[in-house]
Structure 1
Amino acid sequence: MDSAQILAKARLALDLGDIAEASQLLGPLVEHADPEALFLFSTFSMPDAESVAQFEERSLRLLEKSAELGYAPALYALGVCYDLGDLVRQDEFKAAHFFECAAKLGYPKAKYEHGRNLYYGSHGDHKKSQLGWQLIQDAANEQVEGAMEFIRNSAPPHHI
């Protein structure tokens, strides 16, 4: 079985709530630093094997490693952590950086967040404001929650 098949089986196991199966499937891929496996393994705890604090430390470490390897969902998730101050000290600049990196890789949810950052933070920079609006439109086209509502409730930058 190749890594794509293993990852598919692990995602299915997670969807079914079979943490033990997912853990067993992902273990070898985590050891080989597969970015998606690192990300998936960061999303669940093993209640009988680790405390909440141990899970949070492991989760953040794996998420950071996956992000370092350029895995867009991990970059986005790390942006959310910094945006909310979950597992890390809240830092809007780091959050914006991770959202931008994930958006550049085409991750739809990150396009929305980065687009909003550009739209609101452009401070008169028309090109950034236009790019932000375009990213939000892209996110809406990709059915990202909140993006269509944002478009309905916001004015596009002038000269679009």
Structure 2
Amino acid sequence: MTEAEQVLGLARVLIENGKFQRARKLLSTLVGAQQPEALYMAAHFSACEDESTQQFEQRHKQQLQIAADGGYAPALYLMGVYHEVGDYYQRDLLKAAQLFRQAANAGHPEAWLDHGINMFYGSNGITENAIAGLAMIHLAADAGVDRATDFLRHFS
């Protein structure tokens, strides 16, 4: 395990236990190096005690975008969700579908479902391929994505 992997693992534990200030300090070097997973984690809590909501949202979007540009699957997926629902960005289903495709290709289980549905129906600019879409939805269900299991119930 690399030092960066150790830092990320410890930061996950700190974040899960609400110790954001310690996580922030621990992640600072990796964030400075623009490591995608560290940026993704840091994007979810305040950078300092006096950070305003507007500053937080701007930093959140910037760090998330850099993490997504680095191919980090959870960042790609969350960017897709934001574009799908119009949160932080203007609603853009085509952009959301492309982000879900990228996240799915990077191995994100929730994205397997969303991209699989787009493939199944040929929606949001994704070419229809019902067989491949259904296979991807099965992958999501096998990975424990409840929405995928619910979707598949309609076909049994």
- Calculate the TM-score normalised by the size of structure 2: 0.92
Gaps of 5+ in 1: 156-160
Which residue pairs with 2:19 in the alignment? 18
CA distance in 1, matches of 2:41, 2:50: 17
Task: Give the alignment's Cα RMSD to 1 decimal.
Answer: 1.9
Q: Is the 1:19–1:46 Cα contact (8 Å) retained in structure 2?
A: no
Which residue pairs with 2:122 in the alignment? 121
Count of equivalent residues: 153
User: Quick check: 1:67 aligned with 2:104?
Assistant: no
4+ long deviations beyond 3 Å: none
Q: How does 1:1-160 map to 2 (within 5 A)?
A: 2-46=3-47, 48-121=49-122, 128-154=129-155
CA distance in 2, matches of 1:29, 1:3: 7
Shift in Å, 1:48:
2.3
CA distance in 2, matches of 1:56, 1:154: 40
Shift in Å, 1:126:
9.3
Q: Deviations over 1:110-156 (max 9, x none)?
A: 1001001111226xx9961111111100000000121111000147x
Gaps of 5+ in 2: none
Which residue pairs with 1:158 in the alignment? none
Greater mean alpha carbon deviation, residues 133-142 or residues 145-154: 145-154
SS in 1 for 2:88: coil
Shift in Å, 1:5:
0.7
Residue 6 of structure 2 aligns with an amino acid whose one-letter code is: Q
CA distance in 2, matches of 1:47, 1:111: 35
SS in 2 for 1:146: helix
Residue 17 of structure 1 aligns with an amino acid whose one-letter code is: G
Q: Deviations over 1:28-79 (max 9, x none)?
A: 1000111100111111225722111111110010000001011111101110
CA distance in 2, matches of 1:130, 1:86: 31
Greater mean alpha carbon deviation, residues 41-50 or residues 52-61: 41-50
Q: Is the 1:42–1:58 Cα contact (8 Å) retained in structure 2?
A: yes
